[in-house]
Structure 1
Amino acid sequence: MTTSIQWQLASRPTGEPTTENVVKVEIDLPELAEGEVRVRNSFLSVDPYMRGRMNEGRSYVAPYNLGETMTGAAVGEVIESTVEALPVGTLVQHQLGWRDISQGPAEQFTALPNVPGVSPSLFLSVLGLTGITAWTGLTQIAQIKEGDTVFVSGAAGGVGTMVGQIARQLGAARVVGSAGTAEKVELLTSKYGYDAAFNYKDGDIDGQLAAAAPDGIDVYFDNVGGDHLSAALGAFNDGGRAAICGVMSLINAKDNGIKNSANIVTRGLTIKGFTMGAYFHLAPQFAEAMQGWLGAGKIAYDETITDGIDNALDAFNGLMKGANVGKALVRI
């Protein structure tokens, strides 16, 4: 009998999830049915959207069910298979995360290439969801143009670190970002190609943004919402475009209102929220671009790795507190 350690939603949290809300269980897996595979996971992704799935109510993705194992992106190796196309040893990506061993129908697993010198974890970050999210927000939503000034909130996270670099590759004239520590601010300008960055915890986001982008901004890539969105609305040049990707500042708090909204009219701004579900058909186009930049050494990345399935909830809560630099992962 194979046992899988899994994390299940026991109750819906208020604020930060605790071990009363999200509980670790051991599940005895049944024998493989025809057409199924069993995968030993190597890396699990923890992402901000997962906090929304812990709540009840309407969202762009269904909430987690109480008493069931949570899901999320993961990569791993097939250890048992009844499917010729996915033999033992195949590296795969799937959405049956939050567990050390995953099992299910073969169609839920996608084979990945074994690229020498490339960690499988990159298929969850640079070459995966974080990379394509950054690229999509800039190219499809904000429609970045050569010479634009781009502002990125949450710039030291997995998506944010990609946004700044991709914007530079696509011809941005100036890229500025916000982060939550002095160390992250320094990293943005020294490693990730940002021209300027500031610590939003120092306060006066409007003033700090004005100093970082004295000629205004043309594109805003929003991972945070709240005060950052208000500041961006105040800093936009005419015809500015915002790609709204996340609202991390509001996940465990209430929205206190958005300022400068009149500028949406007077400056002819375009503000559009997006999730990746409608854009995955662009994956080949993204992959061609990103693999070229990565191969040419034009893309830097960081991973904040927490070891052990037992520590998955700690990794998630650390992410939501901004403890990560780059992509947050759990290594099994």
Structure 2
Amino acid sequence: MALPTTARVVRLAARPTGLPGPGHFTVAEEPLPAPGPGEVLVRNRAFLVFPGLRTLIGGEAAGLPLPRIGPGDALFGPALGEVLAAPDGGPLRPGDLVTHLSGWRDALVAGADRFTPVPADFPDPPALLSVGSAGYGALTRTAAVRPGDVVLVTGAAGAVGTLTGQLARLLGAARVIGTTRSPGKAKRLTDELGYDAVLVPGARPLAEQLAEAAPEGLDVVVDLVGGEQLTTAVDAARRGARIAVVGALSGQLDPARPGGSGPAVIDGFRVCTLGLTLRGFTGVDHPDLDAEWRERLGGWLRSGELSFPWTPVAGIDRAPEALARLYTGDTFGATIVEL
């Protein structure tokens, strides 16, 4: 089989004012070099579309573990690919499946150390594209869920939230509550993924809904949204509650903001008097997490205790549209472009 000599790549054409749309990106065919010594040629099968790209292209955030994306730069993110060519004696062979962070293209050449092999018996390889490790890390490292806890997951219908509610239950939570913008998604979360209650901000005051869903208060919060939802969660926390701040969707979904902030008003007196802990989660602080997550994810998928919901998108040409759909709320679970 002849190896590909070109690759289709998605690049940022212009920095958007407001939410990004398809017109802010280009999809172009570009030369693909032959692999050199120690390099691997991979054809991508799928890649993840994730809301954090808004932050990377917005030009606001500083101190991020990932590089910013400017006009002319290629987009990137978690991807699943198949090895087409690899050096003799190296860790990879043609036909191996690998994950890496060079999505938003259909093929690439890079050093073998850029790729993580997928075990041959892994039950659902696309699930490795999920960013569910953030929810798992929040529940095991930052907010340490305990048997019997009442857990709130804000932004529960996205790639992280759809897994985090299930994980909270597997780790011992007695009651799991979520939030989402859509009544239809709220129903899916309770019917399909085991959430006990899902609140829809804007339908009624969120504090009122949360008081009904958790009348004795919250023990654990995994916050993916920030803003008003984080404010309300702190107000509903009970003594000793642990709050893990994982994301800032309120800022990323707001066309009036550049995507790198999600301000919230926090009652410092309540944090003090109730002994609350509020801490940000980032995977770079936990280098041991990824291997542990992959092992447990495979076991839970294999046993049927965990499901991986995702929205498929056909073809790289539709990838810019898929990113725009994240911000309008037209997807459920992870959004994955299939190549």
TM-score band (shorter)?
Answer: over 0.9
| Corresponding residue for residue 74 of structure 2 | 69
Q: CA deviation at 1:288?
A: 3.6
SS at match of 1:313: helix
The 1:19/1:193 distance shift into structure 2, 3 A limit, reads: closer
Query: Which residue type is aligned with residue 63 of structure 2?
Result: S
Of 290, 313, 316, which residue of structure 1 is paired with 2:323?
A: 316
Q: CA deviation at 1:245?
A: 0.6
Matched, 1:250 2:251: yes
| Corresponding residue for residue 190 of structure 2 | 189
Query: Which residue type is aligned with residue 233 of structure 1?
Result: V
Gaps of 5+ in 2: none
User: Which segment is superposed worse, 318-327 or 89-98?
Assistant: 318-327
- Give runs of aligned pairs for residues 266-285 of structure 1, distance below 5 A: 266-285=273-292
Q: What is the number of residues matched between the two proteins? A: 327
The 1:309/1:302 distance shift into structure 2, 3 A limit, reads: same
Q: CA deviation at 1:94?
A: 0.9
CA contact under 8 A between 2:48 and 2:77: conserved in structure 1? yes
Provide the C-alpha distance between the structure 1 equivalents of 2:277 and 2:79, rounded to a whole number of angstroms.
34
| Corresponding residue for residue 100 of structure 1 | 106
Q: CA deviation at 1:285?
A: 2.9
Provide the C-alpha distance between the structure 2 equivalents of 1:13 and 1:262, rounded to a whole number of angstroms.
39
- Give runs of aligned pairs for residues 151-230 of structure 1, distance below 5 A: 151-230=152-231
| RMSD (Å), alpha carbons | 1.9
Provide the C-alpha distance between the structure 2 equivalents of 1:157 and 1:210, rounded to a whole number of angstroms.
24
| Corresponding residue for residue 310 of structure 2 | 303
- % identity of equivalent residues: 37
Provide the C-alpha distance between the structure 2 equivalents of 1:296 and 1:28, rounded to a whole number of angstroms.
43
Query: Which residue type is aligned with residue 55 of structure 1?
Result: G
Q: CA deviation at 1:300?
A: 2.0
Provide, for residues 220-261 of structure 1, a one-character-per-residue CA deviation record: whole Å limited to 9, x for no partner.
101111111011011000111111110111123455642544
Query: Which residue type is aligned with residue 108 of structure 1?
Result: R
CA contact under 8 A between 1:83 and 1:106: conserved in structure 2? no
Of 48, 52, 57, which residue of structure 2 is paired with 1:49?
A: 52
SS at match of 2:30: strand
The 1:274/1:258 distance shift into structure 2, 3 A limit, reads: same
Provide the C-alpha distance between the structure 2 equivalents of 1:78 and 1:155, rounded to a whole number of angstroms.
34
Of 33, 40, 43, which residue of structure 1 is paired with 2:43?
A: 40
Query: Which residue type is aligned with residue 290 of structure 1?
Result: L
Query: Which residue type is aligned with residue 238 of structure 2?
Result: N
Provide the C-alpha distance between the structure 1 equivalents of 2:43 and 2:121, rounded to a whole number of angstroms.
19
Q: CA deviation at 1:74?
A: 0.3
CA contact under 8 A between 1:135 and 1:166: conserved in structure 2? yes
Q: CA deviation at 1:14?
A: 2.1
Query: Which residue type is aligned with residue 141 of structure 1?
Result: T
Gaps of 5+ in 1: none
TM, length-normalised to structure 1: 0.92
Matched, 1:112 2:118: yes
SS at match of 2:222: strand
Provide the C-alpha distance between the structure 1 equivalents of 2:34 and 2:24, rounded to a whole number of angstroms.
30
| Corresponding residue for residue 123 of structure 1 | 128
TM, length-normalised to structure 2: 0.90
Provide the C-alpha distance between the structure 2 equivalents of 1:114 and 1:12, rounded to a whole number of angstroms.
40
Q: CA deviation at 1:4?
A: 0.9
Provide the C-alpha distance between the structure 2 equivalents of 1:256 and 1:115, rounded to a whole number of angstroms.
43
| Relative contact order, higher structure (CA 8 A, sep 6+) | 2
| Corresponding residue for residue 237 of structure 2 | 236
Provide the C-alpha distance between the structure 1 equivalents of 2:84 and 2:115, rounded to a whole number of angstroms.
13
Provide, for residues 79-107 of structure 1, a one-character-per-residue CA deviation record: whole Å limited to 9, x for no partner.
23334432221111111111111221221
Q: CA deviation at 1:64?
A: 1.7
Provide the C-alpha distance between the structure 2 equivalents of 1:304 and 1:280, rounded to a whole number of angstroms.
29
The 1:185/1:23 distance shift into structure 2, 3 A limit, reads: same
